[in-house]
Structure 1
């Protein structure tokens, strides 16, 4: 294969790879009803720490960590000890009631898209 064809092949491959990365990290619309129901904004903000880390900080810390999504979903559904400072994730009963596995997944996907 000629140099020109290799160059085109490499450029196309790089473009497809970059497009795949953009799609993998595409920002997801906020599931506002769930965020409000679970009172997420009582402790978190989108981009600055408040009583708890920002959603962007969470995404940055856990992006690329194996099983992070599953761990975060469990933490949303059951609460959990503090991983950031002294504030633990409240129990669901303290923040808006039980959360289904599907709703926890939807919230975590949104957070991880930040």
Structure 2
């Protein structure tokens, strides 16, 4: 009987150790992903500064869905598409609705075509 109890304790200890190892690995992976996003955002400070200056960050976040989609999700969706930068620049300048849900994105008529292209290019680096 004592051997069964010891076996159960060893099994429970092993299960707890495996769970802890899994949680630590997941936490480490999440920290690495966050560091990668921070590095990408900082590697193109002009894009981030322009996004902040033009109030893009009022509705968007780099990593979290807010009023609009996370910019990283936008980058992932359009990654590898040949006309992605011009398509996004057009959407930024002219506005959009229905692509990411029911909340429309207003036109950003204050942006020059070059600024819209800069923002689109920066967004695409966030994937």
Unaligned runs of 5+ in 2: 1-38
Deviations 1:64-97 (A, max 9, x none): 12312111101111112231111111122xxxx5
Runs of at least 4 residues off by over 3 Å: none
2:44 aligns with 29
| Local SS of the residue matching 1:70 | helix
CA contact (8 A) 1:82 1:89 kept: no
- The count of corresponding residues between Structure 1 and Structure 2 is 85
- TM-score normalised over the length of structure 2: 0.60
Find the structure with the greater CA-based Rg.
2
Matching of residues 66-81 of structure 1 within 5 Å: 66-81=82-97
The answer to which structure has the higher helix fraction is 2
Matching of residues 37-52 of structure 1 within 5 Å: 37-52=53-68
2:106 aligns with 90
CA contact (8 A) 1:30 1:110 kept: no
1:63 aligns with 79
Unaligned runs of 5+ in 1: 1-25
Cα RMSD, aligned residues only: 1.8
Give me the whole-angstrom Cα distance separating, in 2, the residues matched to 1:55 and 1:90: 16
- TM-score normalised over the length of structure 1: 0.66
